[in-house]
Structure 1
Amino acid sequence: MSREFAWPRLLTASGKGIAYGGDYNPDQWPKHVWAQDVELMRKAGVNVVALGIFSWDRIQPSEHEWDFDWLDRVIGMLGEAGISVDLASATASAPLWLYEAHPEVLPRDKYGHAINPGSRQSWSPSSPVFREYALTLCRKLAERYGENPTVTAWHVGNEYGWNNRHDYSDNALHDFRRWCQKKYGTIDALNEAWCSAFWSQELRSFDEVLLPRHMGADAMVNPAQQLDFERFGNDMLLDFFRAERDAIAQICPNKPITTNFMISTDQCAMNYSQWAHDVDFVSNDHYFHEGESHLDELLCSDSLVSSIAKRKPWYLMEHSTSSVQWKPVNARKRNGELERDALAHVAMGADAINFFQWRQSRGGAEAFHSAMLPHAGADTNLFRQVCETGATLRDLSEQGLPGTQIAPSHVAILFDAQSQWSTEIPTLPTTKLDHWHDVRDWYRAFLDSGVRADVTPLAYDWDDYDLVVLPTVFMLSDADVNRLKAYVERGGKLLVGYATGIVNEHFQVGLGGYPGAGNGTLREMLGVSGEEFNILGDIEGEPNTVELSDGGVTSLWQTCLTRVADNAHVIARYSGDSAREWELQDMPAIVSHDYGDGHTWYVGCDLRREDLAHIIQHELLPAINVQATDPNIATIERANGDHVFRTYINRRQQSVTMELDEREQSDIVLLYRGERAQNTITLQRNGVLMVRVR
């Protein structure tokens, strides 16, 4: 059962507005700096900070010693300045005294090595000892600050799973056995699900269940066991979050609680469509991908966050003002990208824009991670951009944007965390599969075609979309396939990509031909059946690409379709010298098929982004009768009952000119890095236009 949506108040007269600020770590600085911080925060338009995320050691210097005086003082200074506090449970990193007294709380890696303290999250979510200490801290904080008016929300934990997603400790083994027993009920059911007869691995009791620890340099883990271990790790951390949340909520029930997810198209460690039911409002940490995909990747990730939040406003808990310090090459943001990114997040449904962190650290592991107040101080270009962004967000708050909800698209691209975990298992036809990256590529191809799609969890409701796309959804249960079947039979349009529906939820291959999910139902819907996969790569003396008859090019995976239904239509076939070399000549590659009152497409190979856009423009958009807009500009709408806020963002590295219709000409809410000339707007690089349409 989902918790009811609740949004934290600001210390404004109305309690409303776009929240703006970042992580604040005053315990890392001398006390005389605190007053300077608060003064500069007010100058920058900061109205909220996340406080105490890594402060356990300062709050509890030893097992029986508590120090809240410094925290009282900081919260008091912030409240007097009109800055609200999102107070952390401070459990993300435990103090060294706890590890010294109880080394058994440390998680272990698959080799049996302890994950030693000194970084973040060096604790096992299955450790009863650690849980006892953590929940005591939660209760102490709730008792002291539950009624404090400056504390308007609770920030439980921090980026769960960052360093303890996979725990191979004895505590984890004990809990994994209990988890398996609860899931399967009988050991025979587990053996059937895991195909344990292979390699003589049948189990006689749940006491024989093992973690997928290191088995040798060339050993291969049972993929069903590995997939269940991924699910178990997700569930153990979610259970730990719930325990922290409930310890606080029992004492302080009237303030909303969240934890920050980690959703970008290079990570989605947890099954966040499941976690979202357990928070009062959805929060996310997003860090930009440098290069030409920067904006598109941001929009794609935010689309999934917005869907997970059920289109309610969501909270950007962390992003960066400029460069980070954890990549091989840490690119800085160019002029205009700081505010452009903030506005893009707002356009995609965020009512809170926060950074890591307020003041750039002078030492420690994140000293070179950018912050709102950089090493060079307040008289800097970066801090001036931070102030300008704060002023812009305050203006948007006054214009009535907060509380509006992002408008849905006609198109849903389905994402499934468990399919992402599946494509990371090494015993597949290729280790180069990546479900999330294929979602991103389809999302960008729709933008290239002038349409913004929604990225939506497979587990959520997508029945009302005109078109549903499944890119490399490797794992589909019978229930998933039946949902897809009902959707198409009612008139829905469905595109299924290569490497979709290959295994069921137990990682068992569907028999009778590919894709085999749903005991043949998926093949019946698509009107196709394949016998093998042709995998391309850097193989000496072999072609590494294959052309299609429509001009497309595939470079990784081709499903060898040997049967096509009589009423199906082949849109493209493999052709050319490389196709002949691989014995793919004239074999169907892309097939469409009428099914029930709906229609399906099967794309049996990976394709370049421009090839995906070709399919979208010539097959998909005509089928759903959707009018495309200018592909140079991303167009997003947020709305309430009175009006629509429509945002246009320049996707290109050069200026783009657009026309305004009559309804838009008189109500420009924001024009960032753009110029108006009568009925036209020229958006420069990183330019953003927001209009209000009544």
Structure 2
Amino acid sequence: MQIHTGKPAVPTATPNRQPFAWPKLLTENGRGIAFGGDYNPDQWPEEIWDDDIRLMEKAGVNTVALAIFSWDRIQPTEDRWNFGWLDRIIEKLGKAGIATDLASATATAPLWLYEKHPEVLPRDKYGHQVNAGSRQSWSPTSPVFKEYALTLCRKLAERYGSNPYVTAWHMGNEYGWNNREDYSDNALEAFRAWCRRKYGTIDALNQAWGTTFWGQEMNSFDEVLIPRFMGADSMVNPGQKLDFERFGNDMLLDFYKAERDAIAEICPDKPFTTNFMVSTDQCCMDYADWANEVNFVSNDHYFHEGGEMHLDELACSDALMDSFALGKPWYVMEHSTSAVQWKPLNMRKRKGETVRDSLAHVAMGADAINFFQWRASAFGAESFHSAMVPHAGEDTKLFRQVCELGETLRTLADAGVQGSELERSDTAILFSAESEWATRSQTLPSMKLNHWHDVRDWYRAFLNAGSRADIVPLKYDWSDYKTVVLPTVLMLSAVDTRRLADFAAAGGRVVVGYATGLIDENFHTWLGGYPGAGNGLLRDMLGIRGEEFNILGSGVEGEPEAIRLGAGGEVALEDAAALNGATTRLWQNDVTVTGDRTQVLAMYAGEEADEWELDGMAAVTRNPYGAGEAYFVGCDLDVADLTKLIRTYLAAPAQSQQSQANTDVLHTVRKSADAAFDFYLPRGKKEVELQGVEGEPVVLFQTERGEENGSYTVRRNGVLVVRR
């Protein structure tokens, strides 16, 4: 049925994207895998700097991010500048062959600025001033703050723009960490201007927000409000809140671009980046847009779970980063050598995980491995955050792992991994930042929806089924894939629905999740039955029509907490057991099959289904559409049940000659013009036996080579890399 052939092309984004440029190292040819981390020499007396550099050389560090939080040291008072310390450390690092990724230093402002101009402080939704003393205690829409920040940027560019040891610019730091939502008067005026640009007329805005509900119609843009606190039980207009999310993204992106452009006017020939915050517990910006404005894509990733979930989550986050990078290498700007200090319980990493996690990022397309931070702080809010040099010093297991990692990255660079690109899958799981924002609304049938977590669950299920999916932003071009999956893509515009229909009509496979396509880009509910996206086009593709949602909740006395699935009426005998006994615990669609050729692959069954009047109704369906097909997964399923569904109906062909036969192993391939590099990483706690592996071994970390050619034993947290 499929007519797509060959490997999918790299997803594409806007034609106005900044050109790709990778920061050079201070090696003879400027190449190598970048290795280092955030370095904060201003936290330490200068007597320790030489020892820092000695240890950096010992570990193989070749780059550091410098001056991220140093505005107060660079500009101690409004009329005094102090670059001497920064000159000295850049010079010391450079002479040791360590490149500087120089920050714009605007992540924190000096206290004198807040004292003189308290109006630059943001406000929370209750109207409370967000006080200074942490990071990003400033309003991105404050013209006063922007003037000071851009003056700093120009001063840095004038002083270091031609410095050969400064090879990249690191703008800000984790934009939106503390000021993603600003409810100040500056923000109100900026939001009104943003709405004026977007809608043109107040009538268009009233239509988009549906302001006739609850009598919210506005007569002019001067009446537009930001969604400040409206009472403990009040629900915010969802269209207004969604636009405020978009505005928050845009105002910070505009601030980043202003900083970047201020430096670029003086120093245009060095690449720019800023560190995203992409993990499956956070993705606060629409980074698909941000990726267009950097020369190379960077990310801060911190692990959240142990066991198999740890590696799977890392790979899932990295898969999205690889798409943001459009297949080009990308930069791990921060991760942790061991425990962090900002969770209620902070687990350390086990033996080998520091190296394994770093090499896993490389396996997923990264050409730079950096940590927060170089030396563990002796004071401050992050003093118990792990670092490359721990409190116990260099004679530690942790620092020895750091040194082993540096040597391993050098080995990979020498073998030619740098610049190679991650081989793509045939399947794309589509990610939408706006759908993630929308699932947080308090106006939905359930407040337990989470688009990003559902993306992660599908990603893990594909791994369990012996395949690996890519994760691609919905707004990018994914038309060259064979299969696209939409997990809880709550929001679908008419344009995107047409893209899906055209994709299926041309021979593609579309898999639609249970809470997908319910609202349009203005948070208006599509009418005529669920899922109504595209004025019913999505329903036509699927051959079903939903009337209601059945929402379950745990702990409701006398009510079922789960509903089982049984085999559908038109399933081949060999597939009948695939979803028989699968369980749904949150959301079930009450649907009628409307397509003449729609197959019911699974239905609700049993006493619990009968209790909710769902017994015998379709739960999972398949419908031919044009030359392709469309699946509807009408209820939430856990990873194990999604795995069964994928194995039975969505199994992708082998992704490479070295197909991932062992589902206990994460297997990726990076390719260059003259070589392919296979990475094998056990997903669980047990060692893994590999047979028939082709190629010459490059890295055997916690791995033994067997007696037979191509056989290896990869222990827990081990890594095998071979070159073909």
TM-score, scaled relative to structure 1:
0.99
User: 1:177-256 to 2 correspondence within 5 Å?
Assistant: 177-256=192-271
User: 1:64-463 to 2 correspondence within 5 Å?
Assistant: 64-292=79-307, 293-463=309-479
Residues 310-358 of structure 1: CA deviation (Å, up to 9, x unaligned) = 0100000000000000000000000000000000000111100000000
Residues 278-310 of structure 1: CA deviation (Å, up to 9, x unaligned) = 000000000012222100000000000000100
- Do 1:547 and 1:576's aligned partners in 2 also have CA atoms closer than 8 Å? yes
| 1:622 Cα offset (Å) | 6.6
AA at the equivalent of 2:559: E
Q: Per the alignment, do residues 504 and 624 of structure 1 end up closer, same or farther by CA in structure 2, a change over 3 Å counting?
A: farther
User: 1:587-666 to 2 correspondence within 5 Å?
Assistant: 587-621=617-651, 629-661=661-693, 663-664=694-695
AA at the equivalent of 1:104: E
- Do 1:561 and 1:588's aligned partners in 2 also have CA atoms closer than 8 Å? yes
Q: Distance in 2 between matches of 1:302 and 1:205?
A: 44
AA at the equivalent of 1:467: T
Counterpart for residue 572 of structure 2? none
Counterpart for residue 4 of structure 2? none
Partner-residue secondary structure (3-state), 1:177 = helix
| 1:551 Cα offset (Å) | 1.6
Residues 159-190 of structure 1: CA deviation (Å, up to 9, x unaligned) = 00000000000000000001001111111111
Q: Distance in 2 between matches of 1:466 and 1:668?
A: 32
- Unpaired runs of at least 5, structure 2: 1-15, 567-579
1:480 aligned onto 2:480:
no
| 1:564 Cα offset (Å) | 3.1
AA at the equivalent of 1:689: L
AA at the equivalent of 1:404: S
Q: Distance in 1 between matches of 2:269 and 2:409?
A: 27
Partner-residue secondary structure (3-state), 2:19 = coil
Q: Distance in 2 between matches of 1:487 and 1:391?
A: 46
Counterpart for residue 482 of structure 2? 466
Q: Per the alignment, do residues 111 and 96 of structure 1 end up closer, same or farther by CA in structure 2, a change over 3 Å counting?
A: same
Counterpart for residue 60 of structure 2? 45
Percent of aligned positions with the same letter in both sequences? Answer: 63
Residues 571-613 of structure 1: CA deviation (Å, up to 9, x unaligned) = 0000011101111100100000000000110000000111101
- Do 2:426 and 2:655's aligned partners in 1 also have CA atoms closer than 8 Å? no
Between 1:674-683 and 1:236-245, the stretch displaced more is 674-683
AA at the equivalent of 1:541: G
Q: Distance in 2 between matches of 1:228 and 1:530?
A: 28
Counterpart for residue 697 of structure 2? 668
Q: Distance in 1 between matches of 2:242 and 2:454?
A: 20
| 1:623 Cα offset (Å) | 8.9
Q: Distance in 1 between matches of 2:652 and 2:602?
A: 18
Q: Per the alignment, do residues 218 and 465 of structure 1 end up closer, same or farther by CA in structure 2, a change over 3 Å counting?
A: same
Counterpart for residue 39 of structure 2? 24
Residues 84-122 of structure 1: CA deviation (Å, up to 9, x unaligned) = 000000000000000000000000000000110000000
| 1:157 Cα offset (Å) | 0.3
Residues 196-244 of structure 1: CA deviation (Å, up to 9, x unaligned) = 0000000110000000000001100000000000000000000000000
Partner-residue secondary structure (3-state), 1:121 = coil
Q: Per the alignment, do residues 624 and 10 of structure 1 end up closer, same or farther by CA in structure 2, a change over 3 Å counting?
A: closer
AA at the equivalent of 2:638: R
Q: Distance in 2 between matches of 1:115 and 1:476?
A: 35
| 1:643 Cα offset (Å) | 1.2
Partner-residue secondary structure (3-state), 1:263 = coil
| 1:660 Cα offset (Å) | 2.4
Q: Distance in 2 between matches of 1:93 and 1:348?
A: 32
AA at the equivalent of 2:629: H
Residues 59-79 of structure 1: CA deviation (Å, up to 9, x unaligned) = 000000000000000000000
| 1:687 Cα offset (Å) | 1.3
1:540 aligned onto 2:562:
no
Residues 432-451 of structure 1: CA deviation (Å, up to 9, x unaligned) = 00000000000000000110
AA at the equivalent of 1:398: D
AA at the equivalent of 2:723: R
1:515 aligned onto 2:544:
no
- Do 2:278 and 2:301's aligned partners in 1 also have CA atoms closer than 8 Å? yes
Counterpart for residue 554 of structure 1? 584
- Which aligned segments of 4 or more residues in structure 1 are displaced greater than 6 angstroms? 622-627
| 1:625 Cα offset (Å) | 10
Partner-residue secondary structure (3-state), 2:343 = coil
Partner-residue secondary structure (3-state), 1:264 = coil
Between 1:617-626 and 1:579-588, the stretch displaced more is 617-626
TM-score, scaled relative to structure 2:
0.94
- Do 2:700 and 2:721's aligned partners in 1 also have CA atoms closer than 8 Å? yes
- Do 1:467 and 1:624's aligned partners in 2 also have CA atoms closer than 8 Å? no
- Do 1:474 and 1:500's aligned partners in 2 also have CA atoms closer than 8 Å? yes
| 1:566 Cα offset (Å) | 1.8
Q: Distance in 1 between matches of 2:153 and 2:654?
A: 51
AA at the equivalent of 2:557: E
Between 1:96-105 and 1:647-656, the stretch displaced more is 647-656
Q: Distance in 1 between matches of 2:654 and 2:218?
A: 51
Partner-residue secondary structure (3-state), 2:90 = helix
| 1:630 Cα offset (Å) | 1.2
Q: Distance in 2 between matches of 1:628 and 1:287?
A: 26
Q: Distance in 2 between matches of 1:681 and 1:477?
A: 49
Q: Per the alignment, do residues 330 and 622 of structure 1 end up closer, same or farther by CA in structure 2, a change over 3 Å counting?
A: closer
Residues 637-678 of structure 1: CA deviation (Å, up to 9, x unaligned) = 1101111111111111011101124x42xx111111111112
Q: Distance in 1 between matches of 2:560 and 2:594?
A: 26
Residues 352-376 of structure 1: CA deviation (Å, up to 9, x unaligned) = 0000000000000000000000000
Counterpart for residue 13 of structure 2? none
- Do 2:445 and 2:551's aligned partners in 1 also have CA atoms closer than 8 Å? yes
AA at the equivalent of 1:28: Q
Counterpart for residue 616 of structure 2? 586
Residues 467-487 of structure 1: CA deviation (Å, up to 9, x unaligned) = 110000000000110110110
Higher relative contact order (CA 8 A, sep 6+): 2
1:687 aligned onto 2:718:
yes
